[in-house]
A and B are shown apart, each in its own frame.
Chain A
Amino acid sequence: MVKGAESCVPLSEVATSNTHGEDSAYFAGWKAYDEDPYDAASNPAGVIQMGLAENQVSFDLLEKYLDQHPGASGWGCGISGFRENALFQDYHGLQTFRQEMATFMEQIREGRATFDPERIVLTAGATAANELLTFILADPGDCLLIPTPYYPGFDRDLRWRTGVRIIPVHCSSSNGFQVTLQALEDAYVKAEGMKIRVRGLLLTNPSNPLGTAITRHVLEEVLDFVTQKDIHLISDEIYSGSVFSSDEFVSVAEIVEARGYKDCDRVHIVYSLSKDLGLPGFRVGAIYSYNDRVVTAARRMSSFTLVSSQTQRMLASMLADREFTENYLKTNRERLKNRHDFITEGLKNAGIECLPGNAGLFCWMNLAPLLEEPTKEGELRLWSLIVHEAKLNISPGSSCHCSEAGWFRVCFANMSQQTLEVALRRIKDFMKNMKAKQEK
Chain B
Amino acid sequence: MAKKGVPLSEMATSDTHGEDSPYFVGWKVYDEDPYDAASNPSGVIQMGLAENQVSFDLLEDYLEQHPQEFGWGCGVSSFRENALFQDYHGLKTFTRAVALFMEQIRGGRTQFDPQHIVLTAGATAANELLSFILADPGDGLLIPTPYYPGFDRDLRWRTGVNIIPVHCNSSNGFRITLRALEDACAGAESIKVRVKGLLLTNPSNPLGTAITRPVLEEILDFVAQKDIHLISDEIYSGSVFSSDEFVSMAEIVGARGHEERERVHIVYSLSKDLGLPGYRVGMIYSYNNEVVTTARRMSSFTLVSSQTQKMLASLLSDKEFTENYLRTNRERLKKRYEFVVEGLSNAGIRCLQGNAGLFCWMNLGELLEEPTVEGELSLWNLILHEAKLNISPGSSCHCLEAGWFRVCFANMSQQTLEVALMRMKDFTEKMKAKQMISSL
Give the B-binding residues of A (Cβ under 8 A): 1-15, 20, 22, 54, 56, 59, 62-63, 66-67, 70, 72-75, 79, 82-83, 85-89, 124-125, 127-128, 131, 135-139, 142, 156-157, 160-161, 199, 230-232, 265-266, 274, 278-283, 291, 293-294, 297, 300-301, 303-311, 314
Contacts and interface: CB of A to CB of B under 8 A. Distances in A.
Given A73-B71, A308-B280, A310-B279, A12 B133 contact: yes
Contact of A79 (B64, B115, B291, B308): B64
A73 B276 CA distance: 17
A198 to B, nearest CB: 12
Nearest to B128: A304
Contact of B291 (A11, A72, A307): A11
Interface residues of B, number: 79
Contacts of A157: 300-301
Nearest to B270: A86
B9 A131 contact: no
B291 A7 contact: yes
Chain B CB count within 10 A is highest, among A3, A14, A231, A293, for: A14
B222 interface: no
Contact of B124 (A1, A138, A303): A303
Contacts of A6: 290
Contacts of A307: 280, 305
Interface string B48-71: 000101001001100110010011
29 contacts: A1-B115, A12-B134, A15-B133, A63-B76, A66-B76, A67-B76, A86-B275, A124-B303, A125-B86, A125-B301, A135-B11, A136-B8, A231-B6, A278-B83, A278-B84, A280-B84, A281-B86, A282-B305, A282-B307, A297-B8, A304-B124, A304-B128, A305-B121, A305-B301, A306-B280, A307-B305, A308-B278, A308-B307, A310-B278
B263 interface: yes
Given A1-B289, A304-B125, A281 B6 contact: no
A66 B82 CA distance: 14
Chain B CB count within 10 A is highest, among A9, A136, A160, A297, for: A9
Nearest to A293: B8
Contacts of B116: 1
Contact of A12 (B19, B122, B135): B135
Given A86-B59, A310-B278, 10 more contacts: A20-B294, A73-B72, A73-B307, A79-B60, A83-B60, A157-B301, A305-B302, A309-B278, A310-B307, A311-B308
A11 B278 contact: no
A157 B158 CA distance: 15
B352 interface: no
B214 interface: no
A2 B17 CA distance: 38
A66 B11 contact: no
Nearest to A13: B136
Interface string B187-207: 000000000100000000000
Contacts of B430: none
B310 to A, nearest CB: 9
B83 A293 contact: no
A54 B302 contact: no
B406 interface: no
Interface of B: 5-6, 8-13, 17, 19, 51, 53, 56, 59-60, 63-64, 67, 70-72, 76, 79-80, 82-86, 113, 115-116, 121-122, 124-125, 128, 132-136, 139, 153-154, 157-158, 196, 227-229, 259, 262-263, 271, 275-280, 288-292, 294, 297-298, 300-308, 311
B302 A124 contact: yes
Contacts of A135: 9, 11-12, 158
A73 B70 contact: yes
Contacts of A137: 8-9, 12
Contact of A75 (B6, B70, B85, B304): B70
Nearest to A2: B289
B415 to A, nearest CB: 17
B116 to A, nearest CB: 7
Given A66-B71, A139-B9, A11 B307 contact: no
Nearest to B263: A9
B290 A11 contact: yes
Nearest to B70: A74
B8 A282 contact: no
B335 to A, nearest CB: 20
Contacts of B292: 1
B364 to A, nearest CB: 29
B132 A15 contact: yes
A136 B294 CA distance: 24
B277 A11 contact: no
Chain B CB count within 10 A is highest, among A3, A137, A232, A265, for: A137
A274 B300 CA distance: 14
B322 to A, nearest CB: 17
A393 B276 CA distance: 40
B263 A308 contact: no
A157 B298 CA distance: 10
A86 B281 CA distance: 11
Given A9-B288, A128-B301, A306-B121, A281 B59 contact: no
Contacts of B70: 73-75
B279 A308 contact: yes
Contacts of A72: 71
A230 B288 CA distance: 45
A261 B291 CA distance: 46
A87 B12 contact: no
B301 A131 contact: yes
B300 to A, nearest CB: 6
A304 B302 contact: yes
A2 B292 CA distance: 12
